[in-house]
Amino acid sequence: MFTAEIEQLLSKIEADNYSGAAELTVQAADALQAIGAQAGDDREIEGKILAFGVRLISGQPTMGSLFTLVNGALLGLAEQYTGKTSGEFIENYCSKFLDTLNKNEETLYRKAAGVLRDGDCILTHSASSTVRETILAASEAGKAVSVICTESRPQCEGVALARALAEHGITVRLIPDAAMEYYLTETDVVLLGADAVRTQGFYNKIGTSMLAAAAHAHGVDLYVLCTLHKFIPPDAELPPQPMQDPAEVLPNAPRGLTPLNIYFEETPLRHCSGLISECGILKPAKLRQKLHPLKTAPALLNILADKTNQSEAPL
């Protein structure tokens, strides 16, 4: 169905288990623009975008910005009456999507940095680029913040984040994931990124739910940082995420021992002090109001619902 170029881009995104949502979204937008440029009539473009979207979302089911990119394109194709061809619409849509995303991220960094106080100790889990840029923005504003980073096993992306912050002159401590609750006693605020946000919770690295529950119990504020591009409509069904390479947990496991490796989990919003977006701080009730009017393109909704039901069917 796709050209070799688009197939290569799509396969790369599907297989990527390290890059963050921002990088993957840029790659997906490039592929989407290529589809718009290469496909034929309007109906063919819509069909290819739908097929592309289903593969994209199935391959990266917790990446909300990928869902929004495809869903917005399908909704826009159904509603646009500008006189442009569908190919022209997709090209303009992708460019505007990325431009808006970048501007909203910049706004988010400033708003989130404003929440931090001089002398704050920040604990973070995984390696969110949004959290990193927020901390750097606070530091550039003259706030002497320090950071506690978890290793974030099994890929240990938290180690890379800790190194990056230290190279910018931030005081950083690196801890094992299991020590998260122990170091909450020295933490002023927890900052986390999110790959997707739904009415009941947000997706982030496995272990986030334990951290959020512990922070709530200790009375430590926990803020989730993400733009509205990662918000998932309430009517959407997301495919289950795949199990990852067991060798990342334990190489050469002996017979009878099965390492289990899952990357993401959904954490309840009730454990959050708020979500900081380009709109400022959203408390859980206000956040749900933002999510409520969002809709999924009917064709995408139907296919994803079918895939979800198939995955849940008993063997």
* One-character DSSP codes across 257-297: -------EEEEEGGG-SEEEETTEEE-HHHHHHHHTT----
**Number of residues in the chain:** 315
Could you count the other beta carbons within 10 Å of the beta carbon of residue 126?
25
Q: Catalytic residue, from 42, 118, 177, 195: name it.
A: 195
Query: Which tokens is 231 given?
Result: 């918000």
Round to whole Å and give the CA distance between 234 and 204: 18
Q: Has 120 been annotated as catalytic?
A: no
Helix (H) or strand (E) holding 113: helix 86-115
Could you count the other beta carbons within 10 Å of the beta carbon of residue 55?
18
Dihedral angle computed from the Cα positions of residues 103, 105, 109 and 110, in that order, rounded to the nearest 10 degrees: 30
Peptide bond preceding 154: is omega within 30 degrees of 0, i.e. cis?
A: yes
For residue 295, give the nearest of 229, 234, 226, 230 by alpha carbon.
234
Query: Which tokens is 230 given?
Result: 């990662």
Helix (H) or strand (E) holding 171: strand 171-175
For the annotated catalytic residues, the residue numbers are 195
